[in-house]
Amino acid sequence: CAAFNADFDGDQMAVHVPLSLEAQMEARTLMLASNNVLFPANGEPSIVPSQDVVLGLYYATRDKINGKGEGMVFADIPEVIRAYEAGTVELASRIAVRVTEYEVVNKNAEGDERFVAKTSVQHTSVGRAILSEILPKGMAFAEINKPLKKKEISRLINTSFRKCGLRETVIFADRLLQAGFRLATKAGISIAIDDMLIPSSKDGIINEAAGKVKEYDKQFMSGLVTNQERYNNVVDIWGAAGDQVGKAMMDELSHVDVTDRNGKSVRQESFNSIYMMADSGARGSAAQIRQLAGMRGLMAKPDGSIIETPITANFREGLNVLQYFISTHGARKGLADTAL
């Protein structure tokens, strides 16, 4: 639970029982979850899905070049669902479908909203079309016609609250949760060691950096620079090399070359599981992936200073004894600080 920073690995909490009538009334009006949809601090939604749900919604709303059934046109969304269940199309296939949207025209004297149906043909993906079934009345199809990353889902809930009110938003968030879990389960996303793609340019970048470091060492030995200047430059060189390796790794991880329907080779966003987990905002970041498939980079000593020899290996390649020892150096400092 993000609000309490609580997880279910043994966290405990006190239970308070409001006894008097006033206390009960106050608790109901102020503390009920449905009355706390927005953060008081910034007005952003507080009920935003995380982890599995985000991954499920993201995977379902990604599109793919040359997917099974690409280019098919459907009369309505139930027809898309039937085609998907029959295996004629896959979740990420690009299709066209006739969509009915409901626009709020005006409220009558009693404050009831009046909706006007508007039908149009939308170019979308199978997953987005199926997911649009849970949109509350009054929200445009365009809101869901994009890959749903964590920020997009937050914006979606915010738009729902502004356009459709509290009741509809709470129901919508609940449906998003159920759909996200179901889709994540059906997607069966899992990671293997082969998903950690080591960039082909890694060795070249490291050798170039090592050459520059040697040059500064020579300058120091000749008395051209001070030891502090040499150290600062060496740390800068290795820091830049680490960033370069990280960028090269993300470039290889995030895109793949595919052949489209016309036989042309085009680049499309990758369906690599590790990349999807980070890109969707479900879990992990580029910095963590860099340690898995790029290079671990510079490490700190227990006193906070940076060790000038970086760990050039990553977790996929494995660390040698010296690299492993340098890694434990920083980790042990963290444990010691916690204990003190």
- Are residues 34 and 173 located together in one domain of the fold? yes
Amino acid at 132: S
Please give the pLDDT value at position 277: 93
**What secondary structure does DSSP assign to 168-233, as a single string?**
HHHHHHHHHHHHHHHHHHHHT----GGGSPPPTTHHHHHHHHHHHHHHHHHHHHTTSS-HHHHHHH
- Are residues 133 and 165 located together in one domain of the fold? yes
Please give the pLDDT value at position 110: 63
14 within a domain of the structure (yes/no): no
- Are residues 230 and 123 located together in one domain of the fold? no
- Are residues 136 and 38 located together in one domain of the fold? yes
What is the tens place of the pLDDT at every residue in 67-81?
888 889 999 899 999
The answer to whether 76 and 97 are in contact (CB under 8 A) is yes
> And the tokens for 292?
């898995």
- Find the radius of gyration of the CA atoms of the chain: 27
Question: Strands 94-107 and 73-74: what pairing?
Answer: parallel
**How many domains, the chain?**
2
What is the tens place of the pLDDT at every residue in 130-145?
999 899 888 888 889 9
User: How many beta carbons lie within 10 A of that of residue 114, not counting itself?
Assistant: 11
- Are residues 40 and 180 located together in one domain of the fold? yes
Beta bridge partners of 48: none
- Are residues 227 and 298 located together in one domain of the fold? yes
Backbone angles phi, psi at 94, to 5 degrees: -85, 125
What CA–CA distance (Å, rounded) separates 48 from 38? 10
How far apart are the two ends of the chain, measured CA to CA in Å?
A: 28
- What range does the domain containing 284 cover? 193-339
Q: Is 9 helix (H, G, I), strand (E, B) or coil?
A: coil
Mean pLDDT score, 231-242: 94
Mean pLDDT score, 27-46: 86
What CA–CA distance (Å, rounded) separates 273 from 276? 5
> And the tokens for 177?
């949760």
- Are residues 183 and 309 located together in one domain of the fold? no
Q: What is the pTM of this model?
A: 0.86
- Of the candidates 54, 57, 92, 55, the one whose C-alpha atom is nearest the C-alpha of residue 269 is 92
User: How many beta carbons lie within 10 A of that of residue 116, not counting itself?
Assistant: 10
